[in-house]
Structure formats: C-alpha cells, structure tokens
Amino acid sequence: MREKPDVRTIASIGYTVSVGNQATRQGINVLVVDDEESQRAPLAAMISGWGFNVETAPDGQEALEKLETFSANVIITDLMMPRMDGFELMKRLGAEGNMPPAIVLTAFGNIETAIETIHDLGAFWFMEKPIQPAALRVLLERAAQQSSLAEEAERLHRQLSYSGVLVDMVGTSRQMQQVFTIIQQVAPSKAAVLVVGESGTGKELVARAIHQLSPRKTAPFVAINCAAMPETLMESELFGYEKGAFTGALERRAGCFELAQHGTLLLDELAEMPSGTQAKLLRVLEDSRLRRLGGKSEISIDVRVIAATNRTLDDALKKGDLREDLFYRLNVFQIQLAPLRQRLDDLPILTETLLNNLNRKHSCKVTSVTPEVMEAFRKYNWPGNVRELRNVLERAVIMAGEGPIQMAHLPYDFGVSVGSRPPAQVFEPENVRLPVGTTVAEAEKALIQLTLQHTKNNKTRAAEILGISLKTLFNKLKEYGSSDTAEATA
C-alpha cells in the first residue's frame, strides 16, 4: 500500500485535504475495514498518504485473518458489514486481548451506538461518515500515540517482570515468571480468569495485578468471598436487591456486580458458592445482564470476572462443589500458583520485599536474614505459603527490631519437622488440659505459668519457648500481678 493516492477518487467522495504528505508515520500500522470498495480504497490511500502503513479488509472475518500477519497499531472499522460486522470484530479482539485503539466509522451514527461502541467494545473513538479528514488525522495521530504508550508501558512491565516484579508481586522462579507472562497477556482483555492455588499463594494479588494492568484499572476492583455465606445472602450480595424484596430490605442496594461496573470482580473461594447461586451466576455471565432481587427490570453490566479457588479443580468438579458449566465459562484462562515449597527460588526476593514492607509498617530496621535462617526457610514446608512467610517475618522483625534476622527470632518450633531445631518439649497433658469456656487470656496466662515452671523460672528461656520477647513476658507478668517482674533469671 505504498502507491501514490489518486486525488480525484478521494475528492469524489468528499475528502478535501491534500494527500501525498510525505511519510512522517513510518512504522505505524493501520488496518482499514470497510465492505465498500469505493470507500475503503480511497480512505486507505489517504491514510497511506499521511505516512502510515495501511492494509485493508472488506469485513471482520478477513480483518481477523489479516491481523495474524499484520500487527495493527490502529484499526479503523465500519460497523455494518456482511459476514462479520464491526461489533463482532471488536468483541473478538477484546476477548482475545488483542485490541489496538479502534476508530469506529458508521453511516448510521447516533449517540447510543457511539456510547455502546466506546463503552462496551472499548472503541477508541467514533466517527460519523462522511469523514472529516482533518479530524480523522488528529484521531489517528492520537490513537497511534496511545498505542505506542501502551507498548512502552508493556515493555516496561516486561522488563520489570524479568527482574522479578509485577505490580505488587515478586518472584524470580520459573513458575512465577510464567505466571507474570500470562497475567500480562490476559490483562488487556475482558476474558474470564480462574486462579487456582493453595491458601496464601497470592491468588488475590494475581487478580489485583490483572486489574491494575487492564484498561479497567481506573474502575473499581471488588472482591467477594463466596465461602460460608448462605444462599440468600450470597445472592443479595452479588446481585443487589430492591426495597421490600425480602423482610429487612429497607432500601435498594447495589450488589457486587453493579459496584464493579466497568471494573473487575473477584469471586474468591468460588467452589464454596452454593450450587443454586452458581447457576444464577452463570446466567448473568452469559447475558451480561442481571436483575436485582425483587427487581423488575434488567441491568446491563460490564464486569470482568476473575474467580479463585484453593481447591483442586478435579476434586471440586468431581464432588459437584463447582458446577461444570460455570467452570467452563470461567476457565477461559487458568493461572496455577505453585505452592511456595515448590518454588524455593522465590524465597530471597520474597523475603527482601516482605522485610521492606514490614520495616515500614513497624518502623524497624531489619536488614536481611542470616544464611542459617534462609537455609531453614528453604528446608521448611510452608503449608501456609507466602502468607505464612510474611507472618514468620513479621514476628521476627518485631523481635529483632534491627540488624539481620537470626534463628532465635523464628518461632521456637520452626522447622522442627526438618530437624533444624530440637523438637519442642511436650507438656504433660494433665498440666495443659483446658476446659471449654477458658478465655484466650486465661489460656495465655496458664501457658506462661506452665512454661516458667518448666524452665525453672528462667524467663529468657521461657520467652524463647513462648516465641515472645523478654519485655513482653515481663509485661504479661506485671499484668498478672506477679511479684518477680524485675529480675530476669537468665
């Protein structure tokens, strides 16, 4: 598409600007999609004359085929076309996460179509025919700029993710690098994502990263936990209700879908959602519409859904806890988070990042962990994954205050199972039998007293076993009114 445009043809359909401006936009690819040859060819010629690289397609179907080899920075598309129209084309590109800025042209322009294309389909701009060339040119320049900004942002994210950072997530292991790649691939689209991983592996963080890297980032991110919620409550939380829908519905309330309008909704612990609600959820996802409980009319929703579960999918499907039809609807992309014990290479960068955050939170100056601690971390099984690592580090940061974290700052029985520490002393059962009705404070007091008996009143040793600082132990004793709070029998 480099031949000199024919000024006559262009003028004959109403374009008035001169063409043939010398290439200033080399390297910017524009795809023009229009079924009418008499419109498409001169439009392409004009744009080419402005220095853009132009390709054309007569309908959405051919546009998709062309895009396999031609990477468009901007798409200009007609709406009404045979085979595949402009709406469908944009929907497909959006779902694949491949949508460059798109300028939609239509001869039947009205404000509703404009809003629909821009909001629902993510079009960059809407332009009525006959086209004003000067306006089109400004738009093209802007769209190209947006495209290059997006590319620049993507390049930066990719560069950072290679060094182990993506939004708030860190990880240098092969598994986390793969997760970062998928997040970056799926984020721009509206496609549903299913995040699977043990408790504390970072599922919510993945959902937030996808939202942050998506065009929806300025709209809300809403998370709802589907566990332990009765069916009616779950449904009113999800879909909202009208005043008087049930006893106690004193006024209309928006549900999570509405709150997340144009943004992202995280359905956490999806497999725990009652089966009836799962069926209703599926219908809402299929139709992109919902009715509030007790409501008469339907509301159109534009929400990207991310679901998370810590169950293994096989098990949840086999037991019928997760409906198969819903699973297929949500499993467009699946992100598996490996347990921490299977990606020990992440330990150094996770430790460093978490220490930084915890230092800030507790105004501490902990520098690192000793090699011995890191070794204990590598040997440990981490059933609670990154959340457990964070908790272990938080306790250690508070105990250490500054300098490196040492073995003594870890819980007394940390890593016992791997033999890095002596096994915990087991108290005689008759000494620790606590009747139901014992308060936490009473249990804590009993445990402290028992431990002191066990260490023959050696408080330093007792504090170590209890996993608290000597100062905390003294404070507790003071609370209990013990007489010997001043002397440490170290």
Ligand X SMILES: Nc1ncnc2c1ncn2[C@@H]1O[C@H](COP(=O)(O)OP(=O)(O)OP(=O)(O)O)[C@@H](O)[C@H]1O
Kind and range of the H or E run holding 30: strand 29-33
Q: Which does 17 bind (CB under 5 to 8 A by kind): Mg ion, ligand X, none?
A: none
Q: Which does 169 bind (CB under 5 to 8 A by kind): ligand X, Mg ion, none?
A: ligand X
Q: Which stretch binds Mg ion (CB under 5 A): 21-29, 83-91, 98-106, 197-205?
A: 197-205
Mask of contacts with ligand X, 181-220, x by CB under 6 A?
----------------x-xxxxxxx---------------
Least distance CB 357 / ligand X (angstroms): 8
Q: Which does 189 bind (CB under 5 to 8 A by kind): Mg ion, ligand X, none?
A: none
Q: Is 77 helix (H, G, I), strand (E, B) or coil?
A: strand
Measured from the CB atom, is 208 or 216 closer to ligand X? 208
Mask of contacts with Mg ion, 273-312, x by CB under 5 A?
----------------------------------------
How far is Cα of residue 63 from the mean position of the Cα atoms in its chain? 31
Measured from the CB atom, is 44 or 392 closer to ligand X? 392
Would you call 378 exposed, middle or buried from its count of C-beta atoms within 10 A (0-12, 13-18, 19+)?
middle
Determine contact, residues 32/55, Cβ cutoff 8 Å. Answer: yes
Position 204 contacts Mg ion (CB under 5 A): yes
Determine contact, residues 366/407, Cβ cutoff 8 Å. Answer: no
Least distance CB 227 / Mg ion (angstroms): 10
Least distance CB 202 / ligand X (angstroms): 3
In the complex, residue closest to ligand X by CB: 202
**Interior/surface letters 414-444, b for 16+ CB within 10 angstroms, e for the rest:** bbeeeebbeeeeeeeeeeeeeeeeeeeeeeb
Kind and range of the H or E run holding 223: strand 221-225
Q: Restricting to residues 97-116, which ones interact with Mg ion according to CB under 5 A?
A: none
Measured from the CB atom, is 322 or 386 closer to ligand X? 386
In the complex, residue closest to Mg ion by CB: 204
Q: Where are the alpha helices (DSSP H) in 384-439?
A: 385-400, 429-432
Three-point CA angle 329, 334, 336, nearest 5°: 145
Mask of contacts with ligand X, 301-340, x by CB under 6 A?
---------x------------------------------
Least distance CB 64 / ligand X (angstroms): 35
Position 395 contacts ligand X (CB under 6 A): no
Tokens of 24: 């200033």
Least distance CB 405 / ligand X (angstroms): 17
Tokens of 468: 């608290």
The string of DSSP codes covering 144-155 is: HHHHHHHHHHHH
Least distance CB 201 / Mg ion (angstroms): 9
The string of DSSP codes covering 291-338 is: --BT-SS-EE---EEEEEESS-HHHHHHTTSS-HHHHHHHTTEEEEEP
Position 455 contacts ligand X (CB under 6 A): no
Helix 231-239 to helix 275-287 angle (10° resolution) is: 20
* Number of chain residues interacting with ligand X (CB under 6 A): 17
Least distance CB 411 / ligand X (angstroms): 18
Q: Restricting to residues 122-181, which ones interact with ligand X according to CB under 6 A?
A: 169-171
Beta pairing, strands 193-197 & 402-405: unpaired
How far apart (Å, rounded) are the C-alpha atoms in residues 126 and 104? Answer: 5
How far apart (Å, rounded) are the C-alpha atoms in residues 2 and 15? Answer: 19
Q: Which does 464 bind (CB under 5 to 8 A by kind): ligand X, Mg ion, none?
A: none
Measured from the CB atom, is 199 or 359 closer to ligand X? 199
* Number of chain residues interacting with Mg ion (CB under 5 A): 1
How far apart (Å, rounded) are the C-alpha atoms in residues 355 and 368? Answer: 7
Q: Which stretch binds Mg ion (CB under 5 A): 5-13, 141-149, 200-208, 344-352?
A: 200-208
Least distance CB 400 / ligand X (angstroms): 20
Determine contact, residues 188/97, Cβ cutoff 8 Å. Answer: yes
Q: Which does 303 bind (CB under 5 to 8 A by kind): Mg ion, ligand X, none?
A: none
Q: Which residues bind ligand X (CB under 6 A)?
A: 169-171, 197, 199-205, 310, 350, 353, 386-387, 390
Q: Which residues bind Mg ion (CB under 5 A)?
A: 204
